[in-house]
Amino acid sequence: MDLVKRVSEIWQSFVNDPSMTVAITVSILVFATLYFFMIRFLVDNKAEAMVVLFSLVMVIGAAILTFAKNINTAIYLIIPTVFLVAIMVLYSVELKRIILARKSVKPGDVKHGISYDEERVQTCVTEIIRALQNMSKNDVGAIIVLSTGNVPNQIIDSGVRLDCDISSELIESVFFPKTPLHDGAMIISGTKIVSAGCFLPLSQNVDNIPKDLGTRHRAGIGVTETIDVISIIVSEETGIISIARAGKITRYADSEALRKTLTRYYWQELDINKK
């Protein structure tokens, strides 16, 4: 058979010709890497059916081209190319999350070079905790995101820029029910409130989030999945304060846990210098 003969020829050149050995091995590794990440991405996004479809189309395409005559079989590459483009179109949001997560600044990577007065930092920590406890006591819903300046402008500009000092009165005023900015998230960077009323990406991880948590908590968790930030959420229904980090949420945070989180944020993650 021509097919058997041709495969045998390819195998012989792979074994006997070093340049072909290298070329074929590198080709296999490159394609394998590409296919692995494509298939892994689809599996992570619960699209196993697309993986099955892709595999079937590849096998059927191979079978058709094997018996076709006078066709350059390089057109076989159209199949994975089409699937790659389809993935990029269908999952553009998820791909953007992955890219944003890669670009996020990790703690300690950026030296802000800013000196903060230790007393000023302590004041900020106290003001934030007081605001959170007051809102918790009055069942006022809130999300506060603690960033190291790594929140994309797209999120900051979705709200209203404030660029003002932190005070418990201001935080409570922003989240007071029925005020214009109460329904979004507040972004804090250092000793400044950067913006409020911001829209955050919702968490897509439906398996690990308790079912009784609503959209506010999912937003608080979701932003930590894509960007290296801490979010503090106050539940409107129960007043429970939760802290989310890297896609995981810790509920029932008391003042000690809040002080620990905020102290770590200011003195370790911001990598600031004490005046």
Residues that bind another protein (CB under 8 A): 3, 6-7, 10, 24, 27-36, 39-40, 43, 51, 55, 58-59, 61-62, 65-66, 68, 71-74, 76-77, 80, 208-210, 248-254, 257
Residue 91 CB, nearest distance to another protein (Å)?
17
Instruction: Tell me which residue has tokens 């992955």.
Output: 98
Residues 218/202, Cβ–Cβ less than 8 Å: yes
| Closer by beta carbon to another protein, 74 or else 93 | 74
Please give the sequence-ordered ranges of beta strands (E in DSSP) within 132-264, or none if there are none.
142-147, 160-165, 185-189, 192-198, 230-234, 241-245, 248-250
Element (H, E) at 43: helix 18-44
Residues 249/225, Cβ–Cβ less than 8 Å: no
Residue 71 CB, nearest distance to another protein (Å)?
7
| Closer by beta carbon to another protein, 59 or else 88 | 59
Residue 114 CB, nearest distance to another protein (Å)?
31
Helices (H) and strands (E) in the chain, counts: 10, 9
Residue 271 CB, nearest distance to another protein (Å)?
26
| Closer by beta carbon to another protein, 28 or else 99 | 28
Distances (CA, A) of 245 to 17, 71, 178: 54, 54, 28
Residue 250 CB, nearest distance to another protein (Å)?
5
Phi–psi pair at 231, nearest 5 degrees: -125, 140
Tokens matching residue 238: 């129960």
| Closer by beta carbon to another protein, 65 or else 170 | 65
Residue 35 CB, nearest distance to another protein (Å)?
4
Tokens matching residue 206: 């439906």
Phi–psi pair at 241, nearest 5 degrees: -95, 130
Q: Residue 75 and residue 61: Cα distance in Å, rounded?
A: 10
Q: Residue 225 and residue 205: Cα distance in Å, rounded?
A: 9
| Closer by beta carbon to another protein, 241 or else 270 | 241
| Closer by beta carbon to another protein, 136 or else 167 | 136
| Closer by beta carbon to another protein, 17 or else 157 | 17
Residue 272 CB, nearest distance to another protein (Å)?
27
